[in-house]
Chains A and B, each alone.
Chain A
Amino acid sequence: MNAAADLERRYRRSLAWYPRAFRREYEEEMLTVLMESARDGQRRPGVAQAADLVRNALWMRLRPGVPRSAPVVFAAVRLMYLGAVVEVMTLITVVLTAGMLRSEILSVDPGFTAAQWQALVWTNLAPLVGGGTMATVVWLWMAWANGRAHRWGRTGFAVFFAITTLSLLNGISQDAAAYAMPDLIAGIALWLVALAAVVLLYTRSSARYFRTPRSI
């Protein structure tokens, strides 16, 4: 097989990392540019070039696709990323303070057994960590969906907001041990972020953004 055909095949393989819609619009054109910049007899993409293709392709898939003409939605998507960050920080705090919590209990009640500790972890901490992990994934997923102008993303986030509200109210009303003060503060902070994002998503200018077809 000749060098050019070899090179083209390899470039196409790198370009396959891009989202389909982007490829439909730009693949042939990018291939033209790649082949034009190639040296005579070159058979493989350069390392820097291939890395640049893959890096940009991944960025294409992950980046929020909100245009500058929709600053309100852009702000909402940023708030969702903020929500994910707060959620992760809360998770880390919970995990790191678990050991401290145990020594604190032991200092008050030296008879506290390992079995009791395990039961406590399983009934209180594990659901908190599990729920927090799930919530982080949902925050990120929603940021992605709304950044891509998927209409279901907006509805999905409204539902997520409703669930967050209910679980916060539930936590407050139960006044359970699991809802210690720092927990409550984190819960309220997250709820406020979600509230702000949901309000931004349902303004009139955002409605226009969700109506227009998505561009690449």
Chain B
Amino acid sequence: MQEATFLILTALAAGSQHGYGIIIDVLAISDGRVRLQAGTLYTALARLRTDRLIESDREEIVDNRLRRYYRLTQNGAARLATEASRLHANASAAQARLQPGGALS
């Protein structure tokens, strides 16, 4: 799973959000490192919808502009959980080996 996809799913794990909300949230989750551009965001959202990992929650009109909210599906939550434990296992392995007394010292 690409990092952008992972971060988008993570943003939606806390509840439904609209496009701009996702961008702001991803920026916060990644500690200011990942600023999604609109094109990248919507390519990912369209793909995630096709794969049924997210779905449209509701739409509203604010100042004559359309906002659509997205939420995780059960499939999406399961995929995110799997991916999170995979990354966690990898990260732990790396940290364990880098510590003093690890394989490299």
Interface, chain A (partner B; CB < 8 A): 22, 25-26, 28-37, 48-49, 52-57, 59-60, 65, 67-69, 215-216
Contact = CB atoms under 8 A, between A and B. Distances in A.
A56 B50 contact: no
A69 B13 CA distance: 22
A33 B20 CA distance: 5
B38 A53 contact: yes
A65 B49 CA distance: 12
Given A30-B19, A32-B66, A33-B20, A52 B38 contact: yes
A53 B45 CA distance: 14
Contact of B23 (A33, A35, A68): A33
Contacts of B51: 67-69
A52 B37 contact: yes
B65 A28 contact: yes
A68 B49 CA distance: 11
Nearest to A60: B43
A211 B18 CA distance: 32
29 contacts: A29-B42, A29-B66, A29-B67, A29-B68, A30-B42, A31-B65, A32-B19, A32-B20, A32-B65, A32-B66, A33-B20, A33-B38, A34-B38, A35-B65, A49-B37, A49-B38, A49-B39, A52-B39, A53-B37, A53-B39, A56-B39, A56-B43, A60-B46, A65-B50, A67-B50, A67-B51, A215-B49, A215-B50, A216-B49
Interface string B39-56: 111110110011110000
A33 B50 contact: no
Contacts of B19: 29-30, 32-33
Interface string B48-88: 01111000000000100111100000000000000000000
Interface of B: 18-20, 23, 37-43, 45-46, 49-52, 62, 65-68
Contacts of B23: 33, 37
B65 to A, nearest CB: 4
Given A28-B66, A30-B38, A52-B40, 5 more contacts: A29-B66, A29-B68, A48-B37, A52-B38, A215-B50
